[in-house]
Structure 1
Amino acid sequence: MATLLSQELQVAPRDTLWIADENSKSLLMQGFTFAGDLLSNRWDVAKLAEGKVGRSFFNDFAFEVLERSYRRIVYPVSKEKAVVHHVINRAPHLLEEESGNPGELVLLGGKQSGIKSYATKAAQRFGCAKQLQKHGTEYISCNPLHRSGGEAVDDQNYTQLRPLEELHGLHSKPGLFGWNKIDRGSALLARHFAELTPSDGACVVDLGCGYGYLCAQLAQQGHFHFTATDNNAAALLACSKNFRELGIEGVVVPSNAGAELTSGTADLIICNPPFHQGFQVEGELTDRFLSQTARLLKPGAPALFVVNAFIPLPRKAGEYFSEVHLLAKENGFCVYKLST
């Protein structure tokens, strides 16, 4: 993907918008530079892009902050369908014609990314013929904009936060992994809060907070100060809304596994770490969350982790913690208490 993406970004770069989620990270890590603008819903991608692109923006794909139009938009498709549909819907408003040549949306993706379906929907939205070219294991779809383009595709009202009965009234939105359900692992972890509740006034850090389910559950057990972090802009919007609605004391901040937080300040860390980066399983993510947890905890303070049972957390955690205690194993998930 990196090679194909870099080639597409070199076409009229100053007039190109790069829509970059986590699937674009590898190219930036290779030191790639780009004269155009980059918009990402991932905090680490937007930060990594600073100094390497013309302008770097971090938000939940709120395109109005760009305050300009483009000749080309290049987008390696995201894992979440609603995100891709949102981009397809909004792209025509960002594109401009030059010397009679229409602006175009370029979609890239592997076979399992849904690229063939997205190419069809983009062609319908743009009023153009479907174009899909194969490059090795990757596909590219170029969609020139016809002003008589078609209707918008269903993006599940992407921009709207909403309270959901399935989440017991918590607010969430598309663009967030598992946005409309309670994660089974998180629910299992929350069942142990009553027996492991910290003292009132404790500083609790939630690494990878999502829409804030774990914080909302723990807040029922006492009065604490929460620092909720996530790498995903949609998660930060939803979690902030739930903090306000529930009167939870604390802050919600963008962070790459807590790397931006001050060392040795947490009385308790709660975490349901991701193990996917885009379409790939990424084992290094667990190590990153564990190392940051060890750095952030006060001496002797505990952390509570829940992971899929296939994640070898005891082996990974042994590098950072002297005690790794299995609290529960159920329905393919394991809950661990970690301490130094």
Structure 2
Amino acid sequence: MQTLLSQLLRDSDEYTLWIADENSKALLSAGIHFAGSLLSNRWDIVCAAEATGIPANFCDFELGSKGEKYTRIVYPVSKEKAAVHHVINAAAEVLQYGGELLLLGEKSSGIKTYAQKAAARLGSPKQLQKHGNDYLSTSVFHAGKTGVPLEDTDYTRLRQPEALDGLWSKPGLFGWNKIDVGSALLVRELPQCLPADNTADFRVVDLGCGYGYLSTQLASLLPSREKLYIQATDNNAAAILACGKNFQARNIHGTVTAGDAGSEIRTGTAQLVICNPPFHQGFQVEGDLTDRFLQQAARILCPEGTALFVVNEFIPIGRKAERLFQKVELLNKEHGFCVYRLTKSNIETVKYRAN
């Protein structure tokens, strides 16, 4: 898909919008020539675009938020159907008359169905071309001929799914309307990782926070702790919106910030890191994601700090963590998940170095 996408972007004008996914990093790193602007719901992609001089907007697929009109929208389709439907709907509002919506994807992405839906929404005949293993759908916007909006699960709205016990979430997040089994297992191990001194400062970092489940559960275990500060971070714009809403609704002292696996957090500032790292990037399994989260956790923790990770049992986090942490403990293995406690340095070593 990279070759096809690269060609489409090079041939686009300054009024083209590129909706970029995680697979766009390679093109950005190669310094692709693109005259238009980029939009992404991923913080790292926006940072990579800005580093190459491409105007970029980090948001949750908020097309046309500044009143822009485009001649072309180029969109490698997302994994989540609600997001794709939302973008197709929005294209009918932000394309100039005769403007094009170009959807790209492999057969397994649902591209054939999306091509038909986009054509109907924009009032255009279906155009679908095969390029190797990839498909390109071209739909032309005809005002006055547009079809009814697609069902997008009311994509932009924050809501409180019944399964989340009052927490706010939204489409655009993995498992947005349920409690992740791995995260629930991690929460069970939290009490043994909390300090006994209830008066001391306690700074926690939630890496890859999602809608904030781990942070809110930790805060509920320490309801009277005045010096608890939680810094939650995620690469996904929908996560920032939902987690921020939950911090506000539950009066949690802390911040919710965008970042790439915790890249924006200062070194050596946390006593505890909690993390349920993703291992998928869109349609692909990304092998180095766990390594990046482990490296950032080790950097963020203070010398005597602890990290609590939960991962799928097939990820060899124990072996990966040994290079970065003094002590690696498997606390639980259940339902296909493993919970590990990772200690950066033991207390005896810290005291010895201080003397």
Which bin holds the TM-score, normalised by the shorter protein?
A: over 0.9
Partner of 2:353: none
Deviates more, 1:58-67 or 1:212-221: 58-67
Answer whether contact 1:85 1:155 (CA < 8 A) is retained: yes
Change (3 A) 1:236 1:320: same
One-letter amino acid of the structure 2 residue matched with residue 249 of structure 1: H
Query: Aligned partners of 2:21, 2:287: CA distance in 1, in Å?
Result: 19
- Spell out, residue by residue over 1:3-33, the C-alpha distance to the aligned partner (whole angstroms, 9 max, x if none): 1101111223312110112132222122223
> 1:44 is matched with which residue?
44
Q: Is the 8 A contact 2:107 2:135 kept in 1?
A: yes
Residue type at the aligned position of 2:207: L
Match of 2:292?
Answer: 288
Counterpart position of 1:134: 130
Structure 2 residue 110 is the aligned partner of structure 1 residue 114:
yes
What do residues 269-296 of structure 1 show as CA deviations (whole Å, max 9, x unaligned)? 0000000111110111000000011000
Seq. identity, %: 59
C-alpha deviations, 1:187-217, integer Å up to 9, x for none? 0000111222235430000000000000010
- TM-score calculated relative to the size of structure 1: 0.96
1:51 Cα deviation (Å)? 4.1
5+ unaligned residues in a row in structure 2: which ranges? 345-355
1:203 counterpart letter in structure 2: R
AA at the equivalent of 1:208: G
* Aligned twin of 2:186: 189
Q: Is the 8 A contact 2:307 2:341 kept in 1?
A: yes
SS in 2 for 1:65: coil
* 1:263 partnered with 2:260: no
1:174 lines up with 2:171 in the alignment: yes
User: Equivalents in 2 of 1:229, 1:319: separation in Å?
Assistant: 24
Partner of residue 243, structure 2: 239
Amino acid aligned to 2:271: D
- 8 Å CA contact 2:85, 2:152 repeated in 1: yes
Correspondences of 1:1-340 after superposition (within 5 Å): 1-97=1-97, 102-147=98-143, 148-198=145-195, 199-200=197-198, 201-222=201-222, 223=225, 224-340=228-344
State the 1:237 CA deviation.
0.1
Stretch moving more, 279-288 or 120-129: 120-129
Corresponding residue SS for 1:17: strand
In structure 2, what is the Cα distance between the partners aligned to 1:12 and 1:298?
Answer: 48
Gaps of 5+ in 1: none
Equivalent position SS for 2:112: helix
| RMSD of equivalent CA atoms | 1.1
Shift of the alpha carbon at 1:65? 3.1
Paired amino acid for 1:168: D
The residue identity in structure 1 corresponding to 2:330 is L
SS of the aligned residue for 1:300 comes to strand
Amino acid at match of 1:157: D
Task: Point out 4+ residue stretches in structure 1 off by more than 6 angstroms.
Answer: none
Distance in 1 between residues matched to 2:298 and 2:57, nearest whole Å? 30
**Match of 1:55, as an amino acid?**
P
**Aligned residues of 2:10 and 2:33 also touching (Cα < 8 A):** no
Once residues 23 and 279 of structure 1 are traced to their aligned partners in structure 2, the CA distance between those partners, rounded to angstroms, is: 9
CA distance in 2, matches of 1:203, 1:33: 43
Superposition deviation, residue 53 in structure 1 = 4.7
Where does residue 349 of structure 2 map in the other structure?
none
How many Å separate the matches in 1 of 2:51 and 2:262?
22
Shift of 1:78: 0.7
Which of structures 1 and 2 has the bigger CA Rg?
A: 2
